[in-house]
Chain A
Amino acid sequence: MNLSTATSHLRSEDINVWFGERHVLADVNLDFPSNQVTALIGPSGCGKSTFLRTLNRMHELIPSAGLAGSVLLDGQDIYGDGVNPVDVRIKIGMVFQKPNPFPTMSIKENILSGLKLSGRKFVNGDDIVETSLRRASIWNEVKDRLGEPAISLSGGQQQRLCIARSLAMEPEVLLMDEPCSALDPGSTRRIEETIEELSEAMTIVIVTHNMQQAQRVSHQTAFFLAEDGNPGTVVEFGSTDDVFNRPVDARTNDYVNGHFG
C-alpha cells in the first residue's frame, strides 16, 4: 500500500455493499491514480464486478442494492447530494463482459449513440466516429462498412466497437468488466494493446479472471476474496509486480499461483 494518494484520480472510501440484507462487500479502500491500469482479481462471487459497478453508479440500478461509503472522482464524491448519476456515467465509462452493441443501429450509429443518448450536441460526427474507431484499433476493419448493422461484426470486433462507443464520450475513467472473457486469444491480444494505448489518456479499472492478462496490462492489482459466506474484502493491493511476485498474504500467493479459485 505504498502508492501515493496525492495524484489519485478515482478513489473508493469504505465502500460497503448489500444485496437485500446480505452484506457482500466490506470496507473497500482503493486508489486509482491517473493514467494507471488497475486490475481487480479474485475468485467468482468475491464482489469485484459489484465493486466495479459502484464506481460509476451502475450498481444502484439493481433493485435490492444497498451501499455505504463514498467514491471520490478528483476529490468530489460521486454519491454526494445533488450529483446526477447520468453525469457520473458520462465521465466514467463502462465496457461490459458480453459485447452489447445496439442491434437496431449501424456501426456508425453505435459510435454516436452515446452522444445522442446523453443529449450532447456535436457537428463533426464523422471525425468522432473515425477517431473513436482508430483508438479502439478497429477502424481498418470496419471503415468500408460503417452503415452495416453492428451485429454483423464478429464477437471480438463487437467488443472493440463497444470500447470505441465508450471512447466517443471521452471518459476520464474507463471501467472494464471482464472485457475479454467471451473472446478468442487474437481478439484478447488486440484489446490488451488497446488498453495499453488508452492508459496514456485515461484511468482504467479492469476486472479479469485471467492472471496473465492482469500481469500484462495492469500497473497495480487488487485481490478480492470472500470467505465462507463472509462479505468480500480486498486482501491485498499493490503494484502488479508485488502482488504477483512478492505477495504478502498467503491467500494471495495461493490464488495467483493457481492453488485455488
Chain B
Amino acid sequence: MAQVTQALPRPKQAPWQRRNLKNIVLITLASVLPSLLAIAITVAFSIDGAIGLVAVFLPIQILATVAVGQYLYKKRGRQDAVLMIFTIFFSTLVVVLLTSVLVSVFQRGAAMMRLSFISQNATYISSTTSLDYGGLGHAMLGSLAIVGFTTLVTVPLGVGVAIYLTESRSGSRGIVRSLIQSMSGLPSVVSGMFIYSALIVTGVSHQIGLTGSLALIPLMLPTVARVCEEALRLVPGDLRSAALGLGAPSYRMFLQVVLPAARTGIITAVLLGVARVIGETAPLLLTVNAAANTNLNIFDGPIETLPTFLFRNLSYGTDNSIQRAWGAALVVLFLVLIIFTLARTVGGDKKVAKPKKRK
C-alpha cells in the first residue's frame, strides 16, 4: 500500500514573499524619506507645489528607490525601481486629477441639491432669483429627449456599420473604416456649424430639438461603430465556423451566435456613445433655441438641455447663476452614472443558468 499524503497547512510566506528586517527598513525608508526631503526643499526655497512635485519630489524618489533596488536586487532592482516609480507616480496623478474634478463638482453642486432644483423648470427665473425657486427639470427632460432620439437613430446606423466592417468581404471596407475614424476626430462645433448652415440658415428648419439631435449624430456614430466593431471582432472565428458548419445561413449565424456573444460589447458601445454626446455643448448652442419652459417635443419649439443650461448660467456670471451651473454639472454626472449602472445591470444579466454547486 502506498502511503497516503497528508494535507499540510499553508506556510505563512511563499519563497518569493520572504522579507527580513533589513529589507523592510530599507524599503520603508525609501518610501518615506524622499517625500519628507522634497517637502523640506520645496518649503525652504518656496517653490510652487506643482513644480516641486515634478522637479523635486520625482527625481529624489527615483534616486532613492533606484539606490535601494540596486542594493537589494542589483540591475533587476534598478530597472524595477524606475518603472515602479513612474507607474505609481503617474497613475496616482491621474487618479488625483479625476478625483479632484469629481470632488469640486460634488462640493459646489451639493449645495444646490434640493427637490425644486430637480423638479421645476426655469420659467420666470432670472439670474438673481433666489436659489429656492426654479430648477433644471426642463433641461433634464430636454436632454433625455434629444439624446434619446440621437441614440435611436445612431445605434442602428452604428451597429450596421460595424456589421458591414466585420461580417462582409466588401472591398470598400477600408475606406469606410478610415472615414469613421476621421469622423471621430471631428470637432463637435463643426458638426453644429454644418447643421446650422445646412438647415437653419437656409430656412429649412427653425432651431428645434431635432436639429440638435442631427448635430449630435455624427459625433455619436464613430464611437458606437468603432466600439461595436471591436466587440464583433472579438467573437471567435471558431463559433462562426461551428454555426456555418451546422448549416446556418449567414444571417442566422450572425443573429443567433455572433450577436449574443458580443452583446455586452455592443451595450458598452451604446453607453460610450451616449456618454460621448450627453455633455456636448457647442453643437447644441448653434442648433437649439434655449427655453425656460418644459418642452418634450423635439420637432417644434425651443428646448433646453443640461449642457446649454449649464453654459448659459455660467455666462450670466451672477453668484446665483454660477451656483446653478455647478448644480447642473452634478446632475449631468449623476445622470451619466445612472445610465451606466442601468445598462450594466441589464447587460450583465446572463441568460444561461449558472452552474449549480455539485456534490
Contacts and interface: CB of A to CB of B under 8 A. Distances in A.
Nearest to A171: B247
A100 B248 contact: no
B252 A118 contact: yes
B356 A148 contact: yes
Q: Sort chain A's interface into a size bin.
A: 35 or more
Contacts of B243: 102, 113, 117
Interface residues of B, number: 26
A179 B255 CA distance: 27
B241 A118 contact: no
B247 A87 contact: yes
A58 interface: yes
B353 A106 contact: yes
B242 A100 contact: yes
B352 A117 contact: no
B9 interface: no
Given A98-B238, A105-B352, A166 B246 contact: yes
Interface stretch (A24-32, A89-97, A186-194): A89-97
Contacts, number: 92
B203 interface: no
Interface in B231-245: 236, 238-239, 241-245
A243 to B, nearest CB: 28
B160 interface: no
B260 interface: yes
B355 interface: yes
Given A89-B246, A100-B241, A105-B352, 11 more contacts: A86-B247, A93-B245, A106-B353, A109-B352, A114-B247, A117-B247, A117-B253, A118-B252, A119-B249, A145-B355, A162-B242
25 contacts: A56-B245, A58-B244, A87-B247, A96-B245, A100-B239, A100-B242, A102-B261, A104-B260, A104-B351, A104-B352, A113-B243, A114-B247, A116-B256, A117-B246, A117-B252, A117-B257, A118-B249, A118-B252, A145-B356, A149-B352, A149-B354, A152-B355, A162-B242, A166-B245, A166-B246
